[in-house]
């Protein structure tokens, strides 16, 4: 199963990036990440039937179309979704690559809440896009800081790694296998 992974953090040594990399290490199959920081701001004028999408948008859409499932990993900013990630999803609304595609939303935060606001908002947006959000594959990871190693840029906490493995299993086997 081919995964497309999107990170909501552009920060170097990002804890979100560590979660994403560890998840991809655990994934038993091909995977790609999209450089959503290169996307222009979404503008419907650039998104019409007669418009040629800017190259980074075309690349994102090609990667999304080629994926069997999508993994979204994100921090939470001001109780919301980072703008760069919402922007990427906006570019995928009308083009339709997410329709009926299994998606996992994983948020991570230094706080006990695990980015619950951003997680709920991302799920809502993806559902509106007709993606197949897989509840059992979604996670809100609290107190992420000490669970990662900045040197390897990976998750080191064994319980979190086991939970990521379980989440990926639910994502790649589909919603029918998982309780809501």
Query: Can you give the binding site for ligand FMN, defined by CB under 6 A?
Result: 9, 11, 14-16, 75-79, 109-111, 113, 115
Q: Least distance to ligand FMN from the beta carbon of 146, Å?
A: 12
Contact, 51 vs 45, CB < 8 A? yes
Q: Minimum distance between the CB of residue 125 and ligand FMN, rounded to whole angstroms? A: 17
Q: Phi first, then psi: give them for residue 131, nearest 5 degrees.
A: -75, 160
Q: Measured from the CB atom, is 17 or 102 closer to ligand FMN?
A: 17
The distance of closest approach from Cβ of residue 87 to ligand FMN in the complex, given in angstroms and rounded to an integer, is 16
Q: Which is nearer to ligand FMN, 118 or 168 (CB)?
A: 118
d(CA 96, CA 89): 11
Strand ranges inside 3-152, DSSP E: 3-7, 31-33, 69-74, 102-108, 132-133, 139-141, 148-149
User: Quick one: 11 or 41, whose CB is closer to ligand FMN?
Assistant: 11
- Closest approach, Cβ 37 to ligand FMN, in A, equals 12
Closest CA to 91 of 135, 35, 21: 35
Inter-axis angle of helices 83-93 and 116-128, to 10 degrees? 10
Nearer to ligand FMN, 2 or 79 (CB): 79
């Amino acid at each position: 199963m081919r995964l497309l992974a999107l990170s909501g953090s552009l920060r170097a040594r990002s804890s979100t990036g560590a979660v994403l990399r560890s998840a991809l290490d655990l994934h038993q199959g091909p995977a790609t990440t999209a450089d959503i920081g290169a996307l222009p701001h979404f503008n419907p004028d650039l998104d019409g039937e007669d418009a040629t999408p800017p190259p980074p948008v075309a690349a994102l859409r090609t990667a999304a179309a080629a994926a069997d499932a999508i993994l979204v990993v994100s921090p939470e900013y001001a109780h919301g979704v980072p703008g760069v990630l919402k922007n990427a999803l906006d570019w995928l609304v009308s083009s339709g690559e997410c329709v009926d595609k299994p998606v996992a939303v994983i948020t991570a935060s230094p706080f006990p809440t695990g980015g619950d606001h951003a997680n709920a908002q991302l799920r809502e947006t993806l559902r509106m896009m007709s993606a197949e959000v897989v509840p059992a594959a979604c996670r809100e990871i609290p107190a992420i800081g000490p669970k990662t190693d900045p040197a390897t840029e990976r998750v080191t906490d064994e319980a979190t790694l086991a939970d990521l493995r379980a989440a990926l299993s639910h994502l790649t086997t589909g919603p029918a296998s998982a309780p809501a």
